[in-house]
A and B are shown apart, each in its own frame.
Chain A
């Protein structure tokens, strides 16, 4: 018997008409996304160009593009992107380097978890912005202050992700390794780390996005470049196009780093790919 369910090239089932009605043509997903983007941008351009919305409140895409070209000609656009990306990278890597081993250890050891839990519960809800006054006193106004803000914003949630991933490892695997004579250190490195790695990486991917929100806070004070600085300075001068350009660049940069992260994930976890 012939099925009346067709499958499009992007995987969504599509019910075919049994009464000879015209079928929707199969359109690639990329084309649909492209069309929706063009439609949205055209609508956006239209409402601003025809004066339905004042550019102060929503600048036209063409105005944002012009701003990007102007800042590029001035040689400052790439500097903002690089400065923020570097701050995110350093802060995030430092947070990961501390959170991964500590999280595995805490996930493995209930006693240590009991010791650290109150500190973690205290740190976890603190927004990165709340660290600005202390970070200025501790680290001054240089780059280390910015890294510290990203670090503090990313560390506690990353630690929790790693702990939860570690706690989720099948106890049978741990028991089996211990029965075969593995020491605690071996169990952690040889069993828990590989078993929890997919979840840890998924958590870190989420944390990378959060690290980008932290860098905006980090660049509020004592910064002279960076996308957060660019957005805040644009706000002060009512240059909404600069503000939106900063937002767009953050999104593009996060997408690019996400792709890079996926590439690394595939290399580290080929079975997951």
Chain B
């Protein structure tokens, strides 16, 4: 009798493990066991990298194949044609792709917020935005920093086309251009932003908290979004859910264990553990629980994203504001 009871107990434990362990249970049910993710060394991709290293995807029966892309537009084009299933992107790229009319992708989540690692840095004699009148500003065009520059100039009553000269520079070239006095100010993001911030003779004129939509919706000029190929998500909802589960487990791990996460990320970013930790400290991770709340039609993120689209139209960066809600997919995270 005792033996039988022990056997019963063992069977119950085995059954619980089989049901409770996502790897065993979900793995068998996933429509696809392998997906590709388009990433880069940018911070919004950290959860996927950490998730791969920590086995948060394989635990769920899902293999993630990391594909590196140097530009967001190439990553999004690849996702739109179905070469990769998931990817991270800046919201400006996502809105631009929506404005092109393609419905090939979904926005699944808004994983992070980093308003303090992006901004405008100037030589020390420029104290206010109004002081930028008549000056040259180096800006990576078609990026969040570009939108930030247009927005703060407008807030200060300056015309970006007449009162200042905006010069298109890659973010990585902004420190050398400012140091060489080729420009009077730069709008840029980390790591260039942090590099310049640490230098003498320069100062942070403003960071992304000055962006008009940040004041209204707590939304930076180019919040990151997690995107997925629409047709893949429609056909493979369980795989998508498994991916999201692994993704947010990794994001939570990064938020709770920044030192351990930094050690895992140095392979990707080539930063030192100390530099990596400093970058991690500037990121606010938006947890899985909050996603459903902010991503719904009336949610703060979706409303902010819509306002950002309208802002892009006003700044003549896109022709027509898309109804962003049509691309946002909720309900996959339980």
Contact = CB atoms under 8 A, between A and B. Distances in A.
Interface of A: 54-57, 70, 74, 136-137, 140-141, 221-224, 229, 233, 235-240
Contacts of A221: 168-170, 173
A72 to B, nearest CB: 14
A74 B80 CA distance: 30
Contact of B168 (A54, A136, A224): A224
A interface SS class: loop
B307 interface: no
A224 B166 contact: yes
Contacts of A237: 96, 99, 142, 317-318
Given A54-B102, A140-B182, A238 B173 contact: no
Contacts of B104: 54, 56
B2 to A, nearest CB: 69
Contacts, number: 71
B101 A233 contact: no
A235 B168 contact: no
Interface string B80-117: 11000000000001001101111010000000000000
3 tightest Cβ-Cβ pairs between the two chains A and B: A236-B142, A238-B100, A237-B96
Interface core residue of B104, B167, B176, B183 (most chain A CB under 10 Å): B167
Interface in B283-324: 316-319
B313 to A, nearest CB: 12
Contacts of A136: 173, 176-177
A238 B97 contact: yes
29 contacts: A54-B101, A56-B97, A57-B81, A70-B319, A136-B176, A141-B138, A221-B169, A221-B173, A222-B138, A222-B167, A222-B168, A222-B169, A223-B168, A224-B165, A224-B166, A224-B167, A224-B168, A233-B141, A233-B168, A236-B141, A236-B142, A237-B99, A237-B318, A238-B97, A238-B102, A239-B100, A239-B318, A239-B319, A240-B100
B198 interface: no
Interface core residue of B165, B318, B319 (most chain A CB under 10 Å): B319
B121 interface: no
A233 B142 contact: yes
Contacts of B120: none
Nearest to B181: A140
B73 interface: yes
Contact of B73 (A54, A141, A236): A236
B169 A238 contact: no
Given A233-B142, A237-B317, A141 B169 contact: yes
A56 B96 contact: no
Contacts of A224: 141, 165-168
Given A237-B96, A238-B96, A56 B80 contact: yes
Contact of A141 (B97, B102, B182, B316): B182
